Amino acid sequence: YKLYSLIWNRFMASQMASCELNTNSIEIKNGDYKFKASGSTIKFDGFMKLYEYATEEDNEDVSLPKLEENDELSKVDIEGKQHFTQPPARYSEASFVKSLEEKGIGRPSTYVPTITTILSRDYIK
């Protein structure tokens, strides 16, 4: 049932309208300090209606208040969040061969010459 459901959802989503989001961002300056906030709300569900189970668990919509330039603000609470992205792990010889196999590049008899050529030409360190 899971495979059928996955295929059905993907097919139906490909035939549905696009999802539309309202995205807002705010930049607040106070002396030497600068604060940024952004948020988005779903304007029209579109194909995302099929994937509602994933969006409810992962994110809550963050709606920012309507502000005009030079509006006066009072301090309520500031919650800092720092986000880091992690680069993909570097290839080892084994992971490189596995990647070649998954992508259908070359044959087992060509993996060693390919890796040797890449190393000898200093394409990688």
Mention every residue, 6+ apart, whose C-beta is less than 8 A from residue 114. 100, 106
Q: How far is CA 59 from CA 39, 54, 79, 82, 86, in A?
A: 11, 9, 16, 16, 20
Q: How confident is the model at residue 122 (pLDDT cuts 50, 70, 90)?
A: confident
Q: What is the pTM of this model?
A: 0.39
Given this model, what pLDDT does residue 11 score?
92
pLDDT per residue as tens digits for the range 15-48: 999 988 888 888 888 888 888 888 887 888 888 8
| 72 vs 10, more confident | 10
79 token code pair: 């919650």
Helix (H, G, I), strand (E, B) or coil at 14: helix
Residue 67 in contact with residue 26, Cβ under 8 Å?
A: yes
Domain extent listing, the chain = 2-58, 89-125
Residue 40 in contact with residue 23, Cβ under 8 Å?
A: yes
